[in-house]
């Protein structure tokens, strides 16, 4: 049976949870729901494969075949429960010569399911893989917010701006001491608004922030 046949069950559950006000317990900053996107590989083989497999060619001439899906969930910091949303499978797309990827699958998921969930108020979370201009613009065009990881090595222009603005003392810093129940942690927040996500006149302007947590002995907590 095609997995899409069970997708309506996800929508039924989320609507029922909303009607029962259960989603209110998951709301976070700005009263939004946090929706994390991440890819999960659920099959991998060097011999067994099908037309829907993703293929990785190795230097020794062998191939690895796999199945991966994006599995969005609603979550809340400090809570050990999540609410699953319909997945999006990473699989060869009709009419496309290039192999499917996680970023493309995320765009399909947004286009398909955001109209159903937009009214709940959603902030998209994701790692550096999702922090691309095309995906950020799509999220904003759908009326959603996003909090995405942006690493210095993949967002050099953004970090050059941050470095220059820091030299001009335009990057704000807030330091907070936090008691964990056993020891104090020092949280240092640095942030600046309206910096370009990439190079170019059409660059999407974003708000950048950084959090560094330091232990009492000076060790940076990871």
State the pairing for strand pair 39-45/63-70: antiparallel
Of 62, 197, 186, residue with least CA distance to 130: 197
Query: Which of 149, 175, 210 marks a domain boundary?
Result: 149
Find the helix or strand (DSSP H, E) in which 196 lies.
strand 184-196
Find the helix or strand (DSSP H, E) in which 193 lies.
strand 184-196
Summarised one tens digit per residue, pLDDT across range 148-194 is 999 999 999 999 999 999 999 999 999 999 998 999 999 999 999 99
Q: How confident is the model at residue 222 (pLDDT cuts 50, 70, 90)?
A: low
Q: How confident is the model at residue 4 (pLDDT cuts 50, 70, 90)?
A: confident
Q: Is a pLDDT exceeding 90 seen at residue 207?
A: yes
pTM of the model: 0.90
Query: Which of 134, 149, 164 marks a domain boundary?
Result: 149
Query: Which of 117, 149, 181 marks a domain boundary?
Result: 149
Same domain, 133 and 36: yes
């Amino acid at each position: 049976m095609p997995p899409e046949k069970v997708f309506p069950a996800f929508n039924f559950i989320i609507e029922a949870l909303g009607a029962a006000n259960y989603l209110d317990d998951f709301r976070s900053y700005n009263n939004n729901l946090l929706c994390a996107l991440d890819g999960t590989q659920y099959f991998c083989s060097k011999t067994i494969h099908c037309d829907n497999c993703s293929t990785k060619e190795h230097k020794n001439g062998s191939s690895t075949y796999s199945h991966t899906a994006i599995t969005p969930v609603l979550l809340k910091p400090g809570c050990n429960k999540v609410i699953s949303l319909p997945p999006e499978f990473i699989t060869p797309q009709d009419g496309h010569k290039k192999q499917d990827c996680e970023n493309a699958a995320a765009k399909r998921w947004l286009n398909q399911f955001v109209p159903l969930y937009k009214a709940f108020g959603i902030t998209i979370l994701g790692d550096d893989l999702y922090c691309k201009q095309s995906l950020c613009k799509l999220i904003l065009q759908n009326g959603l917010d996003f909090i995405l990881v942006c690493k210095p090595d993949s967002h050099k222009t953004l970090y050059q701006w941050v470095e220059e603005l820091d030299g001009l003392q335009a990057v704000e810093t807030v330091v907070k001491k936090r008691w964990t129940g056993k020891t104090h942690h020092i949280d240092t927040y640095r942030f600046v608004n309206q910096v370009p996500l990439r190079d170019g006149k059409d660059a999407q302007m974003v708000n950048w922030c950084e959090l560094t947590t330091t232990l009492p002995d000076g060790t940076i907590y990871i």
